[in-house]
């Protein structure tokens, strides 16, 4: 009897040990992204309710989290593994993007160590001279990179967009951005900084020459941070977008981007959001605080390639305009652009801002509040913060997320440790990304966008 009890106890003990080992194995698999990984896929932006006295009110933005089992994860891998990325253009990293989107620390740490090690050995971004060779054969290049040749949907075909891309470095990252936002019904004005290296200009020219709906601004500015030249880059492109360069492209809204931006939404999702604006502009506008008021109170001039403040004070803004402050980035209607280029109020105000600090953050926000401006919002509220086009994580003590990358001019440069948070934001685009600092973030965002495009196409069939 005692022998039988001993055998029974040993069996129970063995079962317990096996059970604990199995649990430990499952726990390890979960944290390495092998099983139970979640892919967070932001759904199309919620439509806004109409409003008669201001911008539409945003509905709740819901983010669906898909539970990834063997079948679902296989679908994710197969679908996104077929992205049109040829190794001769952009390197494809063997990483588990679904685990990165889920915030798996073990995967993020492992990939981060790999990136850091390779950064010390070589540049992670193709050189400008390399990008120049990509477009030697435009037909082959566009085919291998998978640029779409027809609109993805009737809704997108009926609502073409325009883009202004102000760029100055990293032709490979500019190309990657263009590929992510490209649609044949849209039109794109590229403004390379006039002082950028020769090979960068050659690479950007090569990109533009491969497409009928992509062109370089007819007038280029030597962009100086905080000066009027950044504002003029947008004005120059707006002139081209309403002129011969964009003839035959009846775009509805124009958005401006820089080379370090990247989309968080597909073209269809962007169209849906802009259609919900009902002809209103997407411009932030607030009563400036004391610090921002100093940008217009004194005159600023260019000295030694920097913008410096003088002791001279500015006079009042023309046409009794009340000054406001906001973002340099926007989504505005075609009628608003016509107003900017032709109305005396807008023209005089542009001239007045030439001697101010960061005039682009005053110009758009102020005109958005001026009476009679197409798509504007003339109301007395001290602040208009609509659904923003562009997400930026600024350095503040009250920041909702701790930057895992690095700060440049108090702006977070995102890395794979941030994108699980960034991709949950309801904005259309995010800034800032550096290709040579973290190419995996761009790859994972590309894969998520491609997944949603294909998922949308399949649901329409």
Helix, strand or coil, per DSSP, at residue 306: strand
| Token pair for 460 | 């329409």
Counting Cβ atoms within 10 Å, is residue 435 exposed (0-12), middle (13-18) or buried (19+)? buried
User: Which letter does DSSP use for residue 375 in this model?
Assistant: T
Q: Contact 323/356 with Cβ under 8 angstroms? A: no
Integer Cα distance of 404 and 9 in angstroms: 51
Counting Cβ atoms within 10 Å, is residue 147 exposed (0-12), middle (13-18) or buried (19+)? middle
Q: Which of 175, 221, 269, 361 is catalytic?
A: 361
**Would you say the C-alpha torsion 125, 131, 134, 139 has a positive or negative sign?**
positive
Integer Cα distance of 363 and 353 in angstroms: 7
Contacts 24+ apart (CB under 8 A), 78-87: 79/450, 79/451, 79/454, 80/447, 80/448, 80/450, 80/451, 83/146, 83/446, 83/447, 83/450, 84/144, 84/145, 84/146, 85/145, 85/146, 85/446, 86/144, 86/145
Tallying the residues shown for the chain, one arrives at 461
Q: Contact 284/384 with Cβ under 8 angstroms? A: yes
User: For tokens 């202004």, what's the residue?
Assistant: 164
> Quick one: which H or E segment has residue 256?
strand 253-258
User: For tokens 């120049």, what's the residue?
Assistant: 132
Known catalytic membership, residue 361? yes
Counting Cβ atoms within 10 Å, is residue 294 exposed (0-12), middle (13-18) or buried (19+)? middle
Phi, psi of 329 (to 5 degrees): -115, 145
Residues carrying an active site annotation: 361
């Amino acid at each position: 009897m005692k022998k039988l009890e001993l055998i029974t106890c040993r069996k129970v003990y063995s079962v317990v040990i096996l059970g604990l080992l199995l649990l430990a194995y499952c726990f390890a698999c979960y944290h390495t992204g092998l099983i139970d990984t979640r892919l967070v896929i932001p759904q199309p932006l919620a439509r806004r309710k109409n409003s008669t006295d201001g911008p539409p009110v945003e509905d709740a933005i819901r983010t669906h989290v898909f539970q990834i089992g063997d079948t679902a994860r296989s679908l994710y891998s197969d679908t996104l593994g077929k992205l049109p990325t040829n190794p001769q253009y952009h390197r494809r990293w063997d990483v588990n993007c679904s685990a990165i989107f889920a915030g798996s620390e073990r995967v993020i740490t492992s990939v981060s160590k790999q990136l850091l090690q390779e950064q010390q050995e070589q540049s992670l971004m193709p050189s400008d001279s390399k990008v120049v060779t990509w477009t030697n054969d435009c037909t082959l290049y566009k085919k291998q990179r998978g640029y779409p040749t027809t609109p993805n949907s009737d809704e997108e075909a009926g609502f073409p967009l325009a883009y202004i891309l102000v760029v100055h470095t990293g032709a490979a990252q500019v190309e990657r951005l263009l590929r992510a936002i490209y649609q044949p019904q849209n039109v794109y004005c590229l403004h390379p900084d006039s002082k950028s290296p020769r090979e960068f200009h050659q690479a950007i020219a090569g990109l533009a020459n491969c497409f009928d709906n992509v062109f370089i601004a007819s007038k280029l500015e030597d962009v100086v941070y905080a000066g009027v030249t950044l504002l003029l880059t947008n004005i120059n492109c707006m002139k081209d977008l309403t002129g011969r360069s964009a003839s035959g492209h009846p775009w509805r809204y124009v958005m401006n981007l820089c080379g370090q931006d990247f989309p968080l939404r597909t073209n269809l999702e962007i169209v849906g959001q802009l259609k919900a604006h009902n002809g209103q502009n997407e411009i932030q506008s607030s009563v400036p605080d004391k610090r921002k008021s100093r940008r217009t109170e004194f005159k600023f001039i260019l000295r030694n390639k920097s913008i410096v403040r003088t002791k001279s004070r500015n006079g009042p803004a023309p046409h009794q305009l009340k000054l406001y402050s906001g973002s340099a980035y926007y989504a505005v209607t075609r009628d608003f652009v016509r107003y900017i280029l032709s109305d005396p109020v807008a023209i005089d105000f542009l001239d007045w801002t030439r001697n101010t600090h960061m005039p682009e953050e005053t110009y758009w926000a102020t005109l958005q509040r001026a009476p009679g401006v197409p798509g504007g919002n003339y109301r007395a509220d001290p602040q208009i913060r609509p659904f923003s086009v562009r997400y930026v994580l600024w350095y503040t003590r009250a920041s909702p997320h701790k930057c895992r990358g690095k700060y440049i001019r108090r702006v977070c440069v995102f890395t794979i440790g941030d994108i699980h948070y960034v991709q949950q934001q309801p904005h259309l685009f995010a800034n800032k990304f550096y290709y040579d600092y973290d190419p995996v973030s761009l790859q994972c965002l590309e894969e998520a966008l491609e997944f949603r495009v294909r998922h949308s196409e399949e649901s329409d069939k």
